[in-house]
Structure formats: C-alpha cells, structure tokens
Amino acid sequence: MQCLLVIGYVWPEPNSSAAGSHMLSLLQVFLDRDWRVVFASPAADSDFNLDLSQQGIERHNIQINDSNFDNWIKHLDPQMVLFDRFMMEEQFGWRVADTCPNALRILDTEDLQCLRQARQQAHKEQRKFQLTDLNSDLCKREIASIYRCDLSLIISSFEMQLLTEHFKLNESILHHLPFMLGICQIKTSLPSFEQRQHFISIGNFRHAPNWDSVLYLKQLWPQIRKQLPQAELHIYGAYTPPKATALNDPKQGFIIKDRAKEVDPVMQNARVCLAPLRFGAGIKGKLIDAMRCATPSVTTDIGAEGMSFAMPWPGIIATEESDFIAAAVELYQHPDRWQHASQACLPLLKKHYDKEKLAPHFYQSIESLLGQLDSHRQGNFIGQMLSFHSLRSTKYMSKWIEAKNRS
C-alpha cells in the first residue's frame, strides 16, 4: 500500500475555512485510491478539528527542530509527502529530502501568501498594488519553496499566470487545482427569489481579508439599508473576536452571527451574498458556497479573481464603493436580474470545479511524476540549487536550535 504523509500547518477544520475543506478534498483523492494517508502537524488542537480517524486518516503529532521526526518518517517511508503551505516545507523539507530522498514532494500553496501580503500592505498604505510589491522577503521564501518541491498545487488561474509569466516558473513544476466539488450532490431544488430574504457575508474572522471586508461592510451598509429598510445583513464567521461582536447592531440590521454550524441552510435562504474583498489571494470559498446554493453574489475584482474562467459571473463584480452599493440593491430588488445570476451558478461549477474531472487529472500527474522522478528533478536545476544552498542553512540552524534546547 502506498503511503501519503501530509505535514499540516494546522489540523484541518473544514467547517471553519475553505483551506480546511480543500485539504479534505485532496486527502480524499488518495483515500479513494486506497492509499494509506497520515496527517502530521506541530499545531495545537482546537475544538473544531476534523476527526481524522473517522475519515480513515492516521494522525501524528510532530515538533519543529526535533530529530525524532527523522526516525519516525524513516520508519513510515512514505512515497509522497505533501506540505501544507510553504512554511512547513521550510521547516521539514530538508528532513524529508535527507531521510526519504525518493519521496515525491508536493507543496499545497492554498493561495500565494506573498501576493496576499503585498496587496494587504498596498491597501494599508492606501495605494494600488503593483507587481514590484512582490519583491519582498516573504515572496522570495515562497517562490524558493515552490522551486524546491517536485510539484506545487496552485488554486487560482490568476496565480498560475503570475507564476509562469511574472516569475518565469516552468509549468512542469506547477499544477492548477481549484476546489473539487461533488457536482452531483449539489441541490437543484432551492428557495426562490421570493422565498429568500436578507444579505449574507461569511468568512473566518482570523483571516485578515475577511476582517477587513467586515469593516468595509460596516461602512457600506447604512447606504444599502437606506434603500432597503427591511433588509438585514447577517455576518457569519469562525473564531469571532470581541471586536467583531462589538459591531453587532440589530436595530440597523447589521447582525454578527458567529460561526454557522452548516453553511448551506443559511446561504441558500439568503437572497444575496456580499463579499467586498479589498485584498487577498487564491479563490474564495464563500463565493463557491454561494454558487453551490444558487445565491447571487456581489464582490470585487479581487474576490472574483481566477474563479470564473471568462464565464458570466453569477452576480455582479463591483470594485468602487458606489458601484458595490448599487449592485447590492439591484440584485436584491429585481427578480429577473437575480434569477439570471442564480442560473449562472451551476454551469460554472460544472465546467471548472467538478471533482470527477479534476481529481483524475491530478492523480494522473502524481502517477506520472512517481514514474519519472529522477528525470523530472534533473529538469529543475534551480530547485536543486536552492535545495543545496538554502536548505543547508535551514538544516544547521534547526540543529543548532535543537542542541540549544537540549542544553
């Protein structure tokens, strides 16, 4: 039986974040093909961790800067190691390379964190993002990690283009893999325009783009409410902090609801999903959830980035403040406009997010790499060079820290 080891930045929480859901769908690809799947992480537990054992996944706690990991992975002897975000590759990549040199090394980026950080900094400085903003230390670390791995999973078509055209990475070490959905499980009999009410916004409050979106909605809402005095905005989010609950204002219809136990019931009963994201990266789970529930959305160009593949957006993309307000009111008030947007949801999901198409293509890429790993690595000289230099510095720093901790 082939073995996949996943080294997670956090323990998966599918009900808390899109990243958790995406990770579970990745693991399922290998479980469906009878792989042994082991998930290891140095992270602390939370009350919302997925019960991995119920999914048929083994769990193992690991520590950074600890050579016990080397003995453990040597005994495990995985055929493939998947790093959950580049920080885990930095910490454990050299150990995997030293101990299991024949293991296929995959990086799941989730989104390009350097892109998200650069956009956040530009927003903080109240200026437009420029590609030169990507000349950061974080970006150098993340791109180096991509080079060192045999394959990196890129969730957004925009980020694929950025990596190949701006950073000049070879497509042979990249694989575009958006969210994988069970299309046949998506409900087609859903509440109508007349049966729905209110606006919804949803997202993990620990994620900076989501929190900024809530603050922006607080600014926009009075102008929407003025035109729709009976409407309410229900904001759901995991890990709701006191600063969020302090914004709760039921009299004005601005309602902070904490985490949703299940997304579908609240999303499919809302009339419009609002996601005024001003910075971020990757593709947005909240907008995928809206599409699954045939709920039209109003979002920004950053929110919709890399998601529609030139197909009609199931809602309205509006980046300017006045345009966003007008779009929210229009979708909420006009049944014909709403119906047209709602009907655009399922065709987009079927064409670009169907796991029955995406999963086999992804697995074929894995099988191909497993069969020609040496020649594949020979074609990635920059990756070999970065492994030789940068991972040696990481390796000896880690050994120094471990020795210091023992003394």
DSSP 98-110: HH-TTSEEEEE-S
Instruction: Render pLDDT for 229-287 as a digit per residue (tens, 0 to 9).
Output: 999 999 999 899 999 999 999 999 999 998 888 899 999 999 999 999 999 999 999 99
* Nearest C-alpha neighbor of 204 from the set 230, 239, 175, 155: 239
Nearest 5°: the CA angle 283, 315, 211 is 50
| Residue 314 pLDDT greater than 80, yes or no | yes
Tokens representing 315 are 């809602």
Instruction: Render pLDDT for 346-374 as a digit per residue (tens, 0 to 9).
Output: 999 999 999 999 999 999 999 999 999 99
Instruction: Render pLDDT for 180-214 as a digit per residue (tens, 0 to 9).
Output: 999 999 988 999 999 999 999 999 899 999 999 99
Architecture of domain 3-180+354-406: 3-Layer(aba) Sandwich (3.40)
Q: Is there a contact between 70 and 91 (Cβ–Cβ < 8 Å)?
A: no
d(CA 31, CA 24): 10
> H or E element: which one contains 174?
strand 174-176
The pLDDT value recorded for residue 396 is 62
The pLDDT value recorded for residue 85 is 94
Estimate the crossing angle of helix 113-124 against helix 208-227, to 10 degrees. 50
Q: Is there a contact between 86 and 111 (Cβ–Cβ < 8 Å)?
A: no
Residue 77 vs residues 52, 73, 99, 335: alpha-carbon distances, Å: 20, 6, 9, 58
Instruction: Render pLDDT for 201-210 as a digit per residue (tens, 0 to 9).
Output: 999 899 999 9
| Residue 391 pLDDT greater than 70, yes or no | no
> H or E element: which one contains 141?
helix 137-148
Other Cβ atoms within 10 Å of 291 Cβ, number: 27
Indicate if 185-352 has the same CATH topology as 3-180+354-406: yes
| Residue 392 pLDDT greater than 80, yes or no | no
> H or E element: which one contains 298?
strand 297-299
Which residues does 93 contact at the CB level (< 8 Å), separation at least 6? 83, 105, 145, 148, 149, 387, 391, 394
Q: What is the DSSP letter of 332?
A: H
Instruction: Render pLDDT for 138-161 as a digit per residue (tens, 0 to 9).
Output: 999 999 999 999 999 999 999 999
Instruction: Render pLDDT for 44-79 as a digit per residue (tens, 0 to 9).
Output: 988 888 889 999 999 999 999 888 999 999 999 999
d(CA 107, CA 93): 10
Query: Please, what is the average pLDDT of the chain?
Result: 94
d(CA 303, CA 319): 9
Share of the chain above pLDDT 90, in %: 84
Taking the domains of the chain in order of start, what are their residue ranges? 3-180+354-406, 185-352
SS3 track for 218-260? HHHHHHHHHHCCCCCEEEECCCCCHHHHCCCEHHHCEEECCCC
| Residue 400 pLDDT greater than 70, yes or no | no
| Residue 122 pLDDT greater than 70, yes or no | yes
| Residue 390 pLDDT greater than 70, yes or no | no
Is domain 185-352 annotated with CATH 3.30.930.10?
Answer: no
Tokens representing 361 are 């293509």
Phi-psi region of 206 (alpha: psi -120 to 50; beta: other; left: phi over 0): alpha
Would you place residue 131 in the very low, low, confident or very high pLDDT band (cuts 50, 70, 90)? very high
| Residue 397 pLDDT greater than 80, yes or no | no
Residue identified by tokens 């706690």 is: 61
Q: What is the DSSP letter of 279?
A: S
SS3 track for 18-47? HHHHHHHHHHHHHHCCCCEEEEEECCCCCC
Share of the chain above pLDDT 70, in %: 96
Q: Is there a contact between 41 and 3 (Cβ–Cβ < 8 Å)?
A: no
- Predicted TM-score (pTM) of the model is 0.92
Cα 183 to chain centroid distance, Å, stands at 19
d(CA 74, CA 81): 12
Written as one letter, the residue type at 319 is: T
| Residue 106 pLDDT greater than 80, yes or no | yes
The pLDDT value recorded for residue 61 is 96
Residue identified by tokens 């199931």 is: 314
Q: Point out which residues pair with 238 in neighbouring strands.
A: none
Would you place residue 105 in the very low, low, confident or very high pLDDT band (cuts 50, 70, 90)? very high
